[in-house]
Amino acid sequence: MVKAWYIDGEELVTDEKVKRSERHLNPPQYISLDELRHRTGVQCERVNVDKYDTDDSLQEICREKGYQYSDILDIHPQRLENYHDKLAAFYTEHMHPDDEVRLVLKGSAYFDVRDVDNNWIRIGVERGDMLNLVGGTYHRFTLDCDGYGKLFRLFGSKADWSSFNRPADSHPARIAYVEKAVMGF
């Protein structure tokens, strides 16, 4: 189940941080999914991953949003070439011109997104969670301590992995994102 909370911008997932969190020494400031959408434009859905390729609700989302292409990203040291380099690239703050839609098939992970006030919000996702990050959203991605995740990725009319590291404030997608943020998501 998706959970979201404010974090310090440099926070990384480590076994020690998980242990401290479990002891509630530094409890997170959780926000609702409605507040997450309001502050970032990020939308969350639950999908039955046992039938994701035939799930009617997922098919409806694809029709509604115009997603025509998909693939699977298997983030595992033995299955992803240059695993550590890819994780470092995913964790570098960036944005995409198009929406980033990810459904977690296996494992769990974190998406960090900037809110309208430029603060970091961490979004914890697990199996069955699907996120839609609006094109132009500054974000980064990391796995949890298990170091594994399998993601179903959705794209518009073509697969586009283009990303632009921050700062990319003059990019048309970022300008459109800021306009949406000002008007309200």
Binding-site annotation: residue ranges for Ni(2+): 94, 96, 100, 139
Which residue ranges are tagged as binding site?
94, 96, 100, 139
CA nearest neighbour of 7 among 21, 28, 25: 28
What is each CA distance from 86 to 62, 79, 124, 128, 130, in whole angstroms? 27, 12, 19, 23, 21
Helix (H) and strand (E) counts for the chain? 5, 11
Judge whether 100 and 154 are in contact, CB under 8 Å.
no
Residues making up the binding site for Fe(2+): 94, 96, 100, 139
